[in-house]
Structure 1
Amino acid sequence: METRLAPYETLTAVQQQQLATLEVHPEQLPYSGDIYCALNSLQVNPSPGIKGFALLADDIPVAFLLLKRPPCLPHWASEHSATLHALQVDRHQQGRGLGKACLQALPAAARQAWPQITALELSVDSDNVAAMSLYLQQGWVDRGEAYKGRVGYERRLSLLF
C-alpha cells in the first residue's frame, strides 16, 4: 500500500466524496470530532490560516487532519508553529499504521504549506492513551503543561523542526 499526505484542495471530486464518508469509532468522536465538522471548518469560512490534508492509501482517502496558523491558531500555541487538529483515521482502516503514516508525512507537508514555521504543536486529552502513545512514539514531546479542555484535562505536545 502506498500512502501520501495530500492537501485537501488537490483532491479530485471523487476523492472529496470518498473523504466525506470517513467515519471514526463513536468513542473517538469527543477527541477528533467527525469529518463533517472538520470539512465544515475548511469550506464555510475559508482562511489562509487553516489547511486540510487527506492521507491517501493507493489514492483513496483513509484519514484526515487540519493544520492551523494565525489567525486561527489557538491561544496556547507559539506564533511560530502550526497546530494539529481533528486527526481522524477511518474506522474501517484503523490498526494498519495510517495514523503513524500521517504523523510521519506531516512535518514536510506543514513546512511546504508554511515554510516559516519552526514546530508543530497539538493538544491531546490526557485520557486519550492511544493518541498520546502514538504522538510520543513519533517524537512529539510533552511540554509538561495540562489545562482543562472540552472533555477533560489536555496535554500540550510539540514537535520541533
Structure 2
Amino acid sequence: METRLAAYEALSAAQKQRLDALEVHPEQLPFCGDIYSALNCLLVNPNPGVRGFALLADDIPVAFLLLKRPPCLPHWANEHSATLHALQVDRHQQGLGFGKACLQALPAMALEAWPQIKGLELSVDTHNVAAMGLYLGAGWVDSGEAYKGRVGYERRLSWMFNP
C-alpha cells in the first residue's frame, strides 16, 4: 500500500468528501478532537499560519493533521517552529502504521510549507499513552516540561531539523 501526505488544498473533491467521514474512537476525542473541528479550524477563518494535511493510502484519506505557525502558534511553542495539532487516524484504519507514516512524512511537508522553520513541536496529554509511544518511537524528544492543559497535564515534544 502506498502512502503519501498531501496538502488539504491539493485533495480532489472526492478525497475531501471521504475525509469528512474520518472518525476517531470516542475516547480519543478529548485529545485530538474530531474531523469537523479540525476542518473548521482550517476552513472557516483561513489563515496562512494554519495548514491541513491528509495521509492518503492508495489515494484514500486515512488520517489528517494540522500544522500551525505565527500568528496561530500556541503559547508554549517556539516562534521558529511549526506545531502539530489534531492528528487523527480513522478508527477503522488504526493499528496499521498510518500514524507513524504521518510522522515520517511530516518534516518534509512542514519544510515545504514553511522553509524557514527550525523544527516541529507538539503537546501531548501525559495520559495519552498510545500517542506518547507513537511520538517518542518516531524520534520526537520530550522537553521534560509539563503544564496544565485542557484535559490534564501535557508534555511538550519536539523534532529538530538537521542544520
Q: TM-score, normalised by structure 1?
A: 1.00
Q: 1:81-114 CA deviation, whole Å, 9 max, x = no partner?
A: 0000000000000010000000000000000000
Q: What SS class does the counterpart of residue 37 from structure 2 fall into?
A: helix
Residue 56 of structure 1 is matched in structure 2 by 56
Q: After the TM superposition, which residues 16-35 of structure 1 pair with which residues of structure 2 at under 5 Å, given as runs?
A: 16-35=16-35
Post-superposition shift, 1:32? 0.3
Residue 160 of structure 2 is matched in structure 1 by 160
Residue 71 of structure 2 is matched in structure 1 by 71
Letter in 2 for 1:57: A
Quick one: distance in 1 between partners of 2:87 and 2:141? 18
Q: Which runs of 5+ in 1 are unaligned?
A: none
Q: What SS class does the counterpart of residue 139 from structure 1 fall into?
A: coil
Q: What SS class does the counterpart of residue 101 from structure 2 fall into?
A: helix
Post-superposition shift, 1:13? 0.4
Count, aligned residues: 161
Segments ≥4 residues shifted beyond 4 Å: none
Post-superposition shift, 1:6? 0.1
Post-superposition shift, 1:147? 0.4
Residue 101 of structure 1 is matched in structure 2 by 101
Q: Which runs of 5+ in 2 are unaligned?
A: none
Q: What SS class does the counterpart of residue 104 from structure 1 fall into?
A: helix
Residue 123 of structure 2 is matched in structure 1 by 123
Residue 112 of structure 2 is matched in structure 1 by 112
Letter in 2 for 1:45: N
Post-superposition shift, 1:68? 0.1
Identity %: 80
Q: TM-score, normalised by structure 2?
A: 0.98
Letter in 2 for 1:149: G
Residue 132 of structure 2 is matched in structure 1 by 132
Post-superposition shift, 1:141? 0.3
Quick one: distance in 2 between partners of 1:89 and 1:75? 26
Quick one: distance in 1 between partners of 2:13 and 2:152? 37
Quick one: distance in 2 between partners of 1:157 and 1:16? 30
Letter in 2 for 1:12: S
Quick one: distance in 2 between partners of 1:54 and 1:34? 14
Q: 1:115-143 CA deviation, whole Å, 9 max, x = no partner?
A: 00010000000000010011001110000
Quick one: distance in 2 between partners of 1:118 and 1:90? 30
Letter in 2 for 1:108: A
